[in-house]
Amino acid sequence: MPNAAAALYAAEVLPQPYLLFLGDITEPGYAKTAFGLRDWAAERCVGEFACEGASVSTGLPFMDPAQARQAGARAMVIGVANPGGRIPSSWLPRLLEALQAGLDLVGGMHARLSGIESLRAVAAAHGRRLIDVREPPPVLPIATGRKRSGRRLLTVGTDCALGKKYTALALARAFQARGIDARFRASGQTGILIAGEGIPMDAVVADFAAGAAELLSPDADPAHWDLIEGQGSLAHPAYAGVSLALLHGSQPDVIVVCHEHGRERVLGHPHYALPSLEETIELALRVGARTNPAIRCAGISLNTGKLEEAEAQQAIGETAARLGLPVADPIRGGQAFERLVDACLA
């Protein structure tokens, strides 16, 4: 990753630990940034804070910014990824409270913290920082389509917010545990906050998006693996563009298809049905073959978080039998997940 990419924050540069801000959301799927930090960077999270009316919780202690500052927090992170990446005016009193309590603000929304005059004024008055991580590098190339050295795996999905980031992180950890040179490559704001670097693909101008995906996963040793965080879905009525750019630019050797068991409608677009796993695999392989004719699907990452253990294992087994592919829930792990890892590396 080039040093000139101003959006790539080193993890140690971001002010830590964090207070996670959940806004006023009532849909857990929109709190994926907060949940991702809780699950993959728990040592950097001291608690959560929200507006009145919010019903989503990470399970971390609820504390106001002053209490969080006393507990050691140095920044409040907006843990929400809502449709359109908005910062509603109803959030501003809470964000101002954090600045006044001595916390920096870290945001990954499309709306920039630095673009809100009241936040700029209070941050300046209290010597605090407004840090927007959803900023792409200032100079990006047009995609070349050139085959790069090294190996690549991309997680793709039937929808948004169902496990593509978690799957890439879990697979990267599993590869490393087997002694394989592997690295998680973040393509969204939560992944960037976890990994400390990356490119926010959905903030890139469309003509440069595939080039950004090439930059995200550069030439590497032939034995090296990049585990690339997917975004959106090729069948999504709003976000298919970023999914296609990642697929073409990543040139993955392997894809793992991610799906939440039981989800039938597109999150935020309930008038659209989700594509089947079979349709998702076929479309991803057909389109992905444009830049890597050797692309293959290693298996399925099945999010069974809403099921009890016995129900989850039944769902995993039935899906594997139907598709003839390894199926696993990376969070549950076990032999099913090891078989999925084997298939990725085969």
Closest CA to 252 of 141, 155, 318: 155
Question: For the residues 264-274, what does the mean pLDDT come to?
Answer: 94
How many other C-beta atoms can be found within 10 angstroms of the C-beta atom of residue 206? 9
**Lookup result for tokens 């969204």:** 188
| pLDDT value, residue 43 | 94
Contact 171, 227 (CB under 8 A): yes
Q: Specify the domain boundaries for CATH 3.40.50.720 within the chain.
A: 18-132
Q: Can you read off the two tokens belonging to residue 274?
A: 């989700």
Q: Can you read off the two tokens belonging to residue 69?
A: 């500052």
DSSP code for 257 = E
241-258, pLDDT tens digit by residue? 999 999 999 999 999 999
Summary mean pLDDT of the chain:
93
Residues in the chain: 346
Residue 141 CA, chain-centre distance (Å), reads 23
Q: Is 344 helix (H, G, I), strand (E, B) or coil?
A: helix
Q: Which CATH class is domain 18-132?
A: alpha beta
Contact 95, 112 (CB under 8 A): no
pLDDT beyond 50 at 24? yes
Alpha carbon of 323 to those of 120, 262, 303, 316, 326: distances in Å?
53, 17, 16, 11, 8
Q: Can you read off the two tokens belonging to residue 169?
A: 């992180």
How many other C-beta atoms can be found within 10 angstroms of the C-beta atom of residue 67? 16
pLDDT beyond 90 at 299? yes
Q: Is 236 helix (H, G, I), strand (E, B) or coil?
A: coil
Contact 267, 201 (CB under 8 A): no
Phi, psi of 335 (to 5 degrees): -65, -35
Question: For the residues 187-208, what does the mean pLDDT come to?
Answer: 92
pLDDT beyond 90 at 5? no
Residue 65 CA, chain-centre distance (Å), reads 26
Could you tell me which residues are beta bridge partners of residue 21? 49, 78
The verdict on whether omega for the bond into residue 17 sits within 30 degrees of 0, i.e. cis, is yes
| pLDDT value, residue 310 | 97
Alpha carbon of 118 to those of 44, 83, 89, 97, 122: distances in Å?
28, 23, 11, 12, 6
Question: For the residues 59-76, what does the mean pLDDT come to?
Answer: 97
pLDDT beyond 70 at 6? no
| pLDDT value, residue 1 | 34
Please give the CATH superfamily to which domain 151-345 belongs. Answer: P-loop containing nucleotide triphosphate hydrolases (3.40.50.300)
Q: Is the pTM of this model over 0.75?
A: yes
pLDDT beyond 60 at 199? yes
Q: Specify the domain boundaries for CATH 3.40.50.300 within the chain.
A: 151-345
Question: For the residues 90-94, what does the mean pLDDT come to?
Answer: 96
| pLDDT value, residue 161 | 87
pLDDT beyond 70 at 259? yes
Per the model's pLDDT, the better-predicted residue between 96 and 29 turns out to be 96
pLDDT beyond 70 at 89? yes
d(CA 184, CA 194): 10
- Residue 94: partners with Cβ closer than 8 Å, 6 or more residues away: 21, 49, 50, 51
Per the model's pLDDT, the better-predicted residue between 53 and 7 turns out to be 53
DSSP code for 283 = H
Question: For the residues 69-86, what does the mean pLDDT come to?
Answer: 92
